[in-house]
Amino acid sequence: EVRLVESGGGLVQAGESLKLSCAASGLTSDDYTLSWFRLAPGKEREVVACISISDGLTYYADSVEGQYTISSDNAKNTIYQQMNDLKPENTAAYYCAQASNTNNYLDPDEYADWGRGTQVSVYA
């Protein structure tokens, strides 16, 4: 059973930074993608950043390009998301998700496993 546990969220002032972590367990393959999604009040869930564990390739949504950085520590089965210069519009619940053997990493339906999320709240 795959388990994803997010941590690192919090309440911060605009301009500050946060680093989210997602610890994965139960994964049996090296060919998978771990991604961060977010869900803000009144908005649809959106993919924020993705990383392919097998080759380290990354993807960023246009809205966070240059602001967020996704990385992985494969020895710890953990991914991170460094979020800098946070803005109120970054406020959302952030979820980690895992998809196996897919190139369609932008489609939430490709992700079989999800964490419970961590809340990021940014005030002006």
Query: How far, in Å, CA of 90 to CA of 56, rounded?
Result: 25
What's the length of the chain?
124
Quick one: which H or E segment has residue 87? none
C-alpha distances (whole Å) from 50 to each of 28, 54, 88 are 19, 12, 22
Q: Can you give the pLDDT at residue 91?
A: 98
Query: How far, in Å, CA of 35 to CA of 121, rounded?
Result: 20
Q: Is the dihedral of CA 7, 3, 30, 36 positive or negative?
A: negative
| pLDDT tens sequence across 80-105 | 999 999 999 999 999 999 998 788 89
| pLDDT tens sequence across 17-55 | 999 999 999 988 778 999 999 999 999 999 999 999 989
CA 85 to chain centre: 17
Instruction: Give the count of beta carbons closer than 10 Å to the beta carbon of residue 57.
Output: 11
